[in-house]
Amino acid sequence: MGSKLRMEVGNMPTTNTGVIQAEKGETDRATNNMQTDVFERDIQPCLAEVLGSALFIFVGCLSVIENTEGTGRLQPALAHGLALGIVIAILGEISGGHFNPAVSMSVFLIGGLNVFQLVAYILAQLCGGMIGAGLAKVITPEENYANSTGASFSTVKQDAQIGPATLAEMVMTFFLTIVVCMGAVNRHTRSLLAPLCIGLTVTADILAGGAISGACMNPARAFGPAVVANYWSYHWIYWVGPMLGAMLTGSIVRLVLGDRRIRVLFK
């Protein structure tokens, strides 16, 4: 019996150590999982928005600065549309592929983002805009950069153009954001072709309305070049117009076009 007791006592520390080690392992795994969740939920999407916005705006600015062959709006329209469709296709599963404060606003209004994510996304997009515009400045000849005001929006030159330009920005952004919300967010109408449709919408808007307002539809696309080139004439138009378009989209989708998860009427 004494031998048995000694054997049991001798086994006790080993058993307790095993339990402690197992609990420590579970705690470490829980901590790692929590850190991974925070990274994937909060940090990774913002990094994707910075990267996608930078690449999209870099290509967009470059297409304007180097548009010296007399192609008119065709070169910027194709470059913006193709670049946006590509970055949405490769980064959309991480962040939703917004790359535009107006898009983020419309998605927020239909319940796709909370207010903290909205602010973080917009800040990330503005940072990406400055990075993309800065890269475009670094690699382009000074003369071309100066002639294009660094790809800033300089279409509006007098007060008489403010009304048409603001309205154009609102309607064109409405077109873009309704495509995003119905093609990528709304369950009943979501499509695998959403990145292509969104890119084509940007191309169509630039071809149609570029001469009226420059067809920005994206405050980050306006903000980045404005900061780098220090060109702020009528810059507010490219915030007010797109945000009004985003709010119009949010209202229509929330009221009548959204599915039951989104719609507030006739559920």
E-strand spans in 163-258?
none
Does 130 map to a domain?
yes
Does 233 map to a domain?
yes
Q: Measure the CA–CA gap between 43 and 85, rounded to whole angstroms.
A: 23
DSSP code, position 256: I
Does 36 map to a domain?
no
Does 95 map to a domain?
yes
Lowest mean pLDDT among 8-17, 35-44, 142-151, 153-162: 8-17
Residue 196's CATH number: 1.20.1080.10
**What pLDDT shows up at residue 34?**
78
C-alpha distances in angstroms, 17 versus 14, 114, 209? 5, 45, 72
By residue range, what is the domain housing residue 142?
42-257
Closest CA to 125 of 52, 217, 201: 52
Does 12 map to a domain?
no
**Quick check: 234 pLDDT over 60?**
yes
Does 185 map to a domain?
yes
**pLDDT tens sequence across 159-209:** 999 999 999 999 999 999 999 999 999 999 999 999 999 999 999 999 999
Instruction: Work out how many domains the chain is built from and give that number.
Output: 1
Closest CA to 182 of 101, 263, 115: 263
**pLDDT tens sequence across 235-247:** 999 999 999 999 9
Q: Measure the CA–CA gap between 112 and 93, rounded to whole angstroms.
A: 14
Record the tokens describing residue 200, joined without a space: 């084509």
Does 266 map to a domain?
no
Q: Measure the CA–CA gap between 199 and 179, rounded to whole angstroms.
A: 10
Start-to-end CA span in the chain (Å) = 75
- Placement of tokens 């062959």 in the chain: 69
**pLDDT tens sequence across 176-188:** 999 999 999 999 9
**Quick check: 250 pLDDT over 80?**
yes
Residue type, 250: G
pLDDT band at 8 (very low <50, low <70, confident <90, very high): very low
**pLDDT tens sequence across 61-108:** 999 999 987 778 999 999 999 999 999 999 999 999 999 999 999 999
Closest CA to 248 of 185, 169, 156, 149: 169
Does 217 map to a domain?
yes
pTM: 0.87
**What pLDDT shows up at residue 113?**
94
Q: Measure the CA–CA gap between 242 and 267, rounded to whole angstroms.
A: 29
Reduce the DSSP state of residue 186 to 3 states and report it: coil
